[in-house]
Chains A and B, each alone.
Chain A
Amino acid sequence: MRVTERMIYQRSLTSTARSAAEMERAAKEASSGARIFHPGDDSVASGSIVVGNAQAERFSSIARTSERALEETVQMDAALGDVGAILTRAQQIAVQAANDSNSPQARAAAAKEVEAMIRGAAAALNVKVGNRYLFAGDLDATPAFDSTGAYLGDTGVRRLEVAPGVLLDTSLRADEVIGGTAGGVDVFAVLTDLAQALTTNDAAAIRAGLDDFPGAIAQVATGRSALGGVMNVLETSIAAAKAGKDAAELDVGRQADADPIEAASRLALSQHALDAALTVAAQSFRLTLLDKLR
């Protein structure tokens, strides 16, 4: 095959350009740590990266909202714990006051304490996280209970996505747990009845009211138990969402990130290739009859 000047130059141009392009690419990957700069670099990985990033964001948002819900359920649990303690103390007061040996003055003093407890229970149940009252249902911009224990909220229950496509009720209906509307005991009515009986020094009424306390205490305890279940699920969900986010990010990284060792190795290789191409080009130009004829 005849070899002409243009073939030599063309070959030199092509090989140096190819080597330079490979070196540039390797340098870009090594310096940026990325290996995909255009969907055409790896079309399958590009699609997977979009999905992976969306999954990571979804898991991240599930973890965030679940963490917030967990914080709220902890607050609700604490409030119910306070109410439970109030009920237990009220029950003790009722047992003591039911004794006929109690004087009207002692019962009146106990009545004052129970009235304070009612206000304390209402205050505990008006627990607020951010701008919302946790026991108020959907009407969470206003307090759930007034100072007498009357429920001002509604029957709304917050629901949350705790895993992709999985929903969980994360709040309790205060009308049921406290108001007993689902066939239970009205906690505030129990306390109010006791306060009334103490105020009127009605020992029989005090004794009659004693029967309601175990039910009220159990009802609140059941509410706390339900919240405990919710907290368990939320804790699991948070852990799972964080693990899902990490896995999604890892997968995206695997697809999008350059292997630094491989990139550095390719950079060195392409530098050698460019060096060789330039050397060959220089050698090719040196051999010419022009020099011999001088």
Chain B
Amino acid sequence: MASLFALLNQAASSLAAHRAVIGTAGHNIQNVNTPGYARQRVDLAAALPADRVGAGFVGRGVVVQSITQLRDRFFEMQYPQSAATAARSEAESTALQGVHALDPELPGGVGAALAAFYSTVRAVAADAGNPGLRQGVVSSARALALSFNRTGEALRQARLGIDVRLDSLAEAANGLSQQIAELNRQIRVSSNSSGGAPPNDLLDARARARDELARITGAVPVTDTDGNVSMILATGASLVSGDHASRLSTYPDPANDGHLAFRLQRPDGSFEDRPALGGAIGGNLDARDGAIKAAQDQLDQLAWEFAEEVNTVHQLGFDAYGDPGLDLFEVGATQAGAARRVAVNAAILADPSLLAPSETATGVPGNGGNFLALGQIEDRLLPGGATTVATFAGIVSGFGAAAARSKSLASHDATLLANIDAMRESVSGVSIDEELITMSQAQRAYDAVSKVIATTDELLDTLMKLR
């Protein structure tokens, strides 16, 4: 049978239990805005064993059985993957939406400059001896070359800008990998030292880092039997394995115009080049080496083929001195980078009389037959099967389609992520109203237990007064 002192002890223990409930509710409320925080719940249980009293048992009060996090494992598994997918499409979309060099009505854009060039060529074809019109061709050719230069450079700068972003994402990923590895160790130690009680706030911190690392790299979390979370890439390479974190670094890739590639340095010193990275890194790579690179390559090809076509025709003509035509455009020896390099022949720039509109050496200065042929390039199909203007329109359309696709995908993925986040939040999130009710409930119990103490105290007092 329970003694009065035992009753006091029980009550004290029960007060502590209800205090824990209030404390946990308060902790929940204080973390209502903490990202990745999962609400905690105090599991109360009747203290065992009960005291036997004759034919029955008298209970021994209440104890805290455990303080657990409320997490749904299904949503916890879904969230990092959804976050990675959404981050990938969002990063690609953001990168592509930031490129305005191919806007269809951009003043001084390649499309407008091509049309203006052909116009001036047509004007000289009709009046080849007119020095003002010749100067017009030189000016429009220069404007066209500069337009190619600007557009090519803008696309290159967009890719370089993504390189800078990739560098900082790699650093962030490394920090998170190390954090997860360290948290794996701390969680294991804490759990062992507390007899298996979950170190909830450490688990929250790890979950936050896990989600963020998945968002940045697309790595998938895998939990082993010891409770460690490893982060695995699509190729099977691990960013985090237990207590060990690999390191992502970047290096200029000569095969990709010097743009950054990734290297995964494992804890044992071995490394893997170009690991399959997803998430925000993957999205930025998709944009850099996908739509932007395609536009850059196509623009180079257009500049190269256009300059070749123009030069071939221009060489067939004769300048105002009766000499064969020079190359009108200087475009270098290779197609790669042609858009950024193309320029008007410096000699022609200095002396428009070197333009060669005449079909014959004796037909100068009035014959514009060769420029008539030059103007016909506007209708000629390039090796790609389209005219110069249509080829540029195709570049704009292709880039636009990629940007629109990524934007639509980003919106779709964001909606999916929001749904999963809402489902997860529905389980793990903090409701202030709920916590206030829990606090009131615990407070009421605390008050009642206090009454038990008071009653027990009165009983002791009664006993003490017996003579």
Contacts and interface: CB of A to CB of B under 8 A. Distances in A.
B422 interface: yes
B119 A58 contact: yes
Given A68-B127, A293-B436, A47 B400 contact: yes
A138 B318 CA distance: 13
Given A51-B393, A293-B440, 8 more contacts: A10-B421, A50-B104, A51-B111, A54-B112, A54-B114, A141-B129, A160-B125, A289-B437
Contact of A65 (B123, B378, B390): B123
B105 A158 contact: no
Interface string B295-312: 000000000000000000
6 residue pairs, one from A and one from B, having the closest CB atoms: A39-B400, A40-B403, A43-B400, A4-B429, A47-B397, A61-B119
Contact of B399 (A39, A51, A159, A293): A39
Interface stretch (B162-170, B178-186, B278-286, B368-376): B368-376
A74 to B, nearest CB: 15
Interface in B322-377: 358, 360, 362-369, 372, 375-376
Interface stretch (B8-16, B94-102, B216-224, B268-276): B94-102
Contact of B122 (A1, A37, A53, A65): A65
A43 B295 CA distance: 14
B237 interface: no
B319 interface: no
A290 B434 CA distance: 11
28 contacts: A2-B434, A10-B421, A38-B97, A38-B100, A38-B103, A40-B400, A42-B400, A43-B396, A44-B400, A46-B400, A47-B104, A50-B111, A50-B396, A57-B116, A58-B115, A62-B122, A65-B122, A65-B125, A65-B126, A130-B130, A138-B362, A138-B364, A140-B129, A156-B367, A159-B368, A161-B372, A165-B376, A288-B433
B418 interface: yes
Given A48-B393, A289-B433, A68 B126 contact: yes
B430 interface: yes
B396 A39 contact: yes
Given A7-B425, A51-B393, A64-B123, A256 B105 contact: yes
Interface in B169-198: none
Interface string A56-81: 11101110110011000000000000
B372 A132 contact: no
Given A154-B362, A289-B436, A132 B130 contact: yes
A1 B389 CA distance: 57
Contacts of B120: 61
A58 B368 CA distance: 18
A172 to B, nearest CB: 14
B322 to A, nearest CB: 12
Contact of A58 (B118, B358, B360): B118
Contact of B390 (A42, A51, A140): A51
Contacts of B236: none
A101 B272 CA distance: 116
A40 B407 contact: yes
Contact of A132 (B33, B366, B389, B400): B366
A51 B115 CA distance: 9
Contacts of B398: 43
Nearest to A64: B123
A13 to B, nearest CB: 11
Contacts of B422: 7, 10
Interface string A135-166: 01111110000000000001010111100110
B431 interface: yes
A261 interface: no
B136 to A, nearest CB: 11
A3 interface: yes
Given A39-B399, A60-B119, A159 B372 contact: yes
B104 A36 contact: yes
A54 B129 CA distance: 26
Contacts of B118: 57-58, 61
Given A4-B430, A57-B112, A132-B366, A40 B397 contact: no
Contacts of A136: 366
A120 B314 CA distance: 41
Contact of B389 (A4, A38, A51, A156): A51
A138 B361 CA distance: 11
B151 to A, nearest CB: 12
B369 A159 contact: yes
Contact of B432 (A40, A48, A50, A290): A290
Given A38-B403, A130-B130, A293-B436, A5 B32 contact: yes
B401 interface: yes
Given A39-B399, A40-B400, A158-B126, A49 B33 contact: no
Contact of A4 (B111, B130, B425, B436): B425
Contact of A2 (B105, B126, B426, B436): B426
A4 B372 contact: no
Nearest to B118: A58
Interface in A2-40: 2-7, 10, 14, 34, 36-40
A54 B437 contact: no
A131 interface: yes
A64 B369 CA distance: 18
Interface string A277-292: 0000000000011100
Contact of A44 (B368, B397, B426): B397
Contacts of B396: 39, 43, 46-47, 50
B392 interface: yes
A167 interface: yes
A288 B432 CA distance: 8
Nearest to B389: A54
Interface string A237-248: 000000000000
A140 B114 contact: no
